[in-house]
Structure 1
Amino acid sequence: MNREPDFLENLRAELSSGRVWLDRTIVLGYAVAAGLFVVAFTIASDWAFGLFQGLHRSFPWAVLLWTPALTVAIVWVTRRWFPGAAGSGIPQVKAALHPALPPQRRSRLVSLRLTVAKIGLAVAGLGAGLSIGREGPSVQVAAGVMQHARRYLSPNSPIDARALLVAGGAAGIAAAFNAPLAGVVFAIEELYGRLETRASGLIITAIVLSGLVAVSVFGNLSYFGVIRVPHLDWAALGPGLAVTLTTGLAGGLFSRLMAASLTGAPGRLNGIRARWPLRFAAAGGFLIAVIGLVTGGITFGAGSEAVKQMLAGHESLSPLQTLLKFIATWLTAWCGVPGGIFAPALTIGAGIGNSISELAGHGLGPALIAMGMAGFLAAVTQTPLTAFIIVMEMVDGHSMVLSLMASAMLASLVSRMISRPLYESLAEHMVGSAVASPAPAVTPPQLNHGTEAPAPGERPVSS
């Protein structure tokens, strides 16, 4: 027969194990550290892109040299010393969580060394004016910090390396978007699929704590401010459906192009990229600079400022500019630069929503822009719950919960007819490459010559 919990007995049991509480304190301490790393990353990114904007305003044609030259330097450093830092960072965390990945290979994808490298290289990419965001990289940055906690936990702690990676990755989203709820949903929907009951409370606490670190620094403000949504009636159904279907198709195409480009699918251009990666990066950087000049600089960087202006009704993104932002983001990722696609995807989706709102009229601009953001992000990532919650928290769009949810769900469904989930495809490619590569031979107590040693400050972590 079940009996009611005894409060005093349970309290004594909780307080009896000092080691359990020490483990919890260590995890939460690392969660704070992860939040601080993301905050520093945010500040450095804004500073670097501000410098680039100053260069572009003062010497616009200089970017034709500056952008390709810095792109080549970033790609060279990445390929030479930090190959695990290339790209978004979300696929690396998903690959590190994959059961087929040998635990000793995990540090090639997520580590403190890669955290520092990711910050530096992504900041340099924004300083070059490349079409990247810092939100996806924040996942790898925070995961690299959190996984380091495992060495200080007790051997029988229920918090294992996988749980720390999930907590770190989700904490990165929470801190980057100033959206703790999005971080929790991201952990469940994208990274893990489920949370172990015995550790879920502490993991969620760590995610929220990292988000609160960002809130304490930047304030409890919505990323894009508060949108003014008009009363939505049946007249909004047609334009809303048009935005959803367009973002679903565009996002599916973008996802398919990215997967084909970054997994080395057969093709002439991928062959050129594999043979001459630095020349390819130079050409890509030059094209991105040309696109930026043609659009008046609107395609440079993440594009967050353009979204803020559109939501406020002060600026619009034409269909051509939206298409060129799409191309610039794809080219940037194809070059192999460390950087994310979350923020550029939101800009592209906002541009689609803005273009359709101008055709539809009825004062639906802010609502359709928000739906476009949720739809395109959901179509690219195929994580509709995360996408709609991110947008809802970024625009304080609680009055549009059902509209954003419907847009994200339908756009994701359309995208799945065109492309496999992007991050899943890239993660599987990384795992396949890691498993196929020769295993490092270890002769205790030292590594053989030619074997990749653990990163400084790292040690192998068991699952």
Structure 2
Amino acid sequence: MRWRTRLTLWAAAISAGLLVVGFAWLAERALAGFAWLTAGHLWLALLITPAIGMLVVGLTVRFFPGAQGSGIPQVIAATRLAGQHKPVGRLVSMRIAVGKVGLGCLALLGGFSAGREGPSVQVAASVMHLFHRWLPHARIIRAPDLILAGGAAGIAAAFNTPLAGIAFAVEELGRKLETRTSGVLLSTIILAGMVAIGVQGNYNYFGKLSAQESGWGTALAVLVAGVACGLLGGVFSRLLLWPQRHAHWRLWRWRAAHPVWFAGACGLLVAVLGLISGGMSFGSGYGITTQIINSGADLPWHAAITRFLATVLTYFSGIPGGIFAPALAVGAAVGADIAHWAQLGSAALPVVALCMVGFLAAVTQSPITSAIIVMEMIDSHGMVISLLATALVASAISARMGPELYQQLALGFVRAQSATPARDAIK
């Protein structure tokens, strides 16, 4: 029975890894499609982005409720509810996984500032939850632990960073693993990451940054990046929590009553920001960040501002889409601005990396995961101490400004699901 359990879990991990890799491929095609549609005619985004936003949110509300937003809060909520033997079918299911992939890619085709990495967490968790019913003895592995492992496998496969997936499981999703099952579950996380490596190759998500830590200059860069990104990331988190914490405001009541029209309005503003930025705020931000890391590309001073605002508006719109890649793009743009103002020249890239990890850590308040993700994505093992230090500083500052973003958002899903009739009970 032990080997049947392992084989079932490994089959689940392979399936999750393949689905996440397929999601990545479709997302890349969608980003390329938007670039093709607006090539030489960027003003077309004023029509395309609002229209696709309305279509995506309309389909989400009608057919895929629970697929909106990042997906990470839904997985956190599902682990809590499953631990209480409450239904989770409206948070993790194959219906939601299909909607997350299809509608998430459609939103990228519309130019929204969203990523696929957070949604990959919900997609992989949905796959793992499906396989729970096929375990030879369902009580061998608890449903919450399997959902948690699925979410972490999604991070491992999406970023091609198995180590970050393990850190994410412990630090953000579950905060603990059952001792008797931790080895088996960790093997599923690693296997999902290995599937991504096997299909896509052992690549670095943003390329490779060759840099080493160097004394007091590095210490000053850590302090500046940590404080600046901690403050900015704290503001970002508070903005994303605004609808949940002030649901009585007229704007959010109107959004609840007219989600499709609200999405159209957000899409129009995202398009305007894209025009102002010369197209830099459209999409996930992957392309721009890669250019900065690999070739030190110069950005206009407003790149961080337009990307920041476009990502907030994209989240407000209610489309299925994550904030990981856009957050890294904001951090990279902030780092480029700091390096330009300080006239760092060839020393700019380490500051860019520090700001990437600082902003991501401030948004998620998961410093270890953020440091490992950035370290693995740009192969910057020579900066491991400074990346971790920046993440800790930024996370500490953000924590003084508000609660943890994903944990707080998850509370909203827990409350909503607790009030739902138990027709979606765990099987």
Cα shift at 1:273: 1.2
SS in 2 for 1:86: coil
In 1, Cα distance between equivalents of 2:254 and 2:209: 45
Which digits, 9 at most, give the CA deviation of each residue in 1:432-459, with x for residues without a partner?
122234x24xxxxxxxxxxx5x5xxxxx
| Residues 311 and 365, structure 1, Cα contact 8 Å, conserved in 2 | no
Identify if the C-alpha distance between structure 1 residues 258 and 67 changes in structure 2 by more than 3 Å, giving closer, same or farther: same
Equivalent of 1:391, from 371, 374, 387?
A: 374
- Equivalent residue number for residue 107 of structure 2: 125
- Equivalent residue number for residue 289 of structure 1: 271
In 1, Cα distance between equivalents of 2:326 and 2:198: 26
In 1, Cα distance between equivalents of 2:40 and 2:294: 27
1:412 pairs with 2:398: no
TM-score (structure 2 length as normaliser): 0.96
- Equivalent residue number for residue 274 of structure 1: 256
Equivalent of 1:338, from 298, 312, 320?
A: 320
| Residues 129 and 301, structure 1, Cα contact 8 Å, conserved in 2 | yes
Q: CA RMSD in A?
A: 1.6
- Equivalent residue number for residue 217 of structure 1: 199
1:403 pairs with 2:368: no
- Equivalent residue number for residue 81 of structure 1: 63
| Residues 236 and 364, structure 1, Cα contact 8 Å, conserved in 2 | no
| Residues 158 and 198, structure 1, Cα contact 8 Å, conserved in 2 | no
Which digits, 9 at most, give the CA deviation of each residue in 1:83-137, with x for residues without a partner?
1101000000000011587644201100111111110010001110100000000
SS in 2 for 1:223: coil
SS in 2 for 1:301: coil
- Equivalent residue number for residue 342 of structure 2: 360
- Equivalent residue number for residue 423 of structure 1: 406
Cα shift at 1:67: 0.7
- Equivalent residue number for residue 15 of structure 1: none
Cα shift at 1:266: 3.0
SS in 1 for 2:401: coil
Equivalent of 1:193, from 166, 169, 175?
A: 175
Give the letter for the 1:154 counterpart. Answer: P
Identify if the C-alpha distance between structure 1 residues 214 and 300 changes in structure 2 by more than 3 Å, giving closer, same or farther: same
| Residues 239 and 360, structure 1, Cα contact 8 Å, conserved in 2 | no
Equivalent of 2:305, from 323, 328, 332?
A: 323
In 2, Cα distance between equivalents of 1:144 and 1:75: 21
Q: Which moved more, 1:95-104 or 1:185-194?
A: 95-104
In 1, Cα distance between equivalents of 2:172 and 2:409: 13
In 1, Cα distance between equivalents of 2:28 and 2:217: 40
| Residues 68 and 320, structure 2, Cα contact 8 Å, conserved in 1 | yes
SS in 1 for 2:214: coil
Cα shift at 1:156: 5.7
- Equivalent residue number for residue 6 of structure 2: 24
Give the letter for the 2:183 counterpart. Answer: G
Give the letter for the 2:135 counterpart. Answer: L
- Equivalent residue number for residue 96 of structure 1: 78
In 2, Cα distance between equivalents of 1:64 and 1:22: 54
Give the letter for the 1:67 counterpart. Answer: T
Equivalent of 2:38, from 38, 45, 56?
A: 56
| Residues 263 and 426, structure 1, Cα contact 8 Å, conserved in 2 | no
Superposed counterparts of 1:226-305, under 5 Å: 226-229=208-211, 232-262=214-244, 265-305=247-287
SS in 2 for 1:27: helix
1:36 pairs with 2:24: no
| Residues 82 and 88, structure 2, Cα contact 8 Å, conserved in 1 | no
In 2, Cα distance between equivalents of 1:361 and 1:299: 24
| Residues 248 and 375, structure 1, Cα contact 8 Å, conserved in 2 | yes
- Equivalent residue number for residue 128 of structure 2: 146
| Residues 100 and 431, structure 1, Cα contact 8 Å, conserved in 2 | no
| Residues 316 and 351, structure 1, Cα contact 8 Å, conserved in 2 | no
SS in 2 for 1:222: coil
Percent identical:
45
Structure 2 unaligned spans of 5+: none
Cα shift at 1:353: 1.1
- Equivalent residue number for residue 461 of structure 1: 426
Identify if the C-alpha distance between structure 1 residues 219 and 384 changes in structure 2 by more than 3 Å, giving closer, same or farther: same
Which digits, 9 at most, give the CA deviation of each residue in 1:196-244, with x for residues without a partner?
1111111111000000111011111111111122562323433331111
Count of aligned residue pairs for this structure pair? 426
Structure 1 unaligned spans of 5+: 1-18, 441-451, 455-459
Cα shift at 1:159: 1.0
In 2, Cα distance between equivalents of 1:156 and 1:126: 38
- Equivalent residue number for residue 173 of structure 1: 155
In 2, Cα distance between equivalents of 1:312 and 1:206: 32
| Residues 358 and 390, structure 2, Cα contact 8 Å, conserved in 1 | yes
| Residues 76 and 173, structure 2, Cα contact 8 Å, conserved in 1 | yes
| Residues 239 and 357, structure 1, Cα contact 8 Å, conserved in 2 | no
Identify if the C-alpha distance between structure 1 residues 201 and 64 changes in structure 2 by more than 3 Å, giving closer, same or farther: same
Which digits, 9 at most, give the CA deviation of each residue in 1:282-324, with x for residues without a partner?
1110110111111111100110111111123442333322111
| Residues 262 and 334, structure 1, Cα contact 8 Å, conserved in 2 | no
Give the letter for the 1:415 counterpart. Answer: S
Rg larger in structure: 1
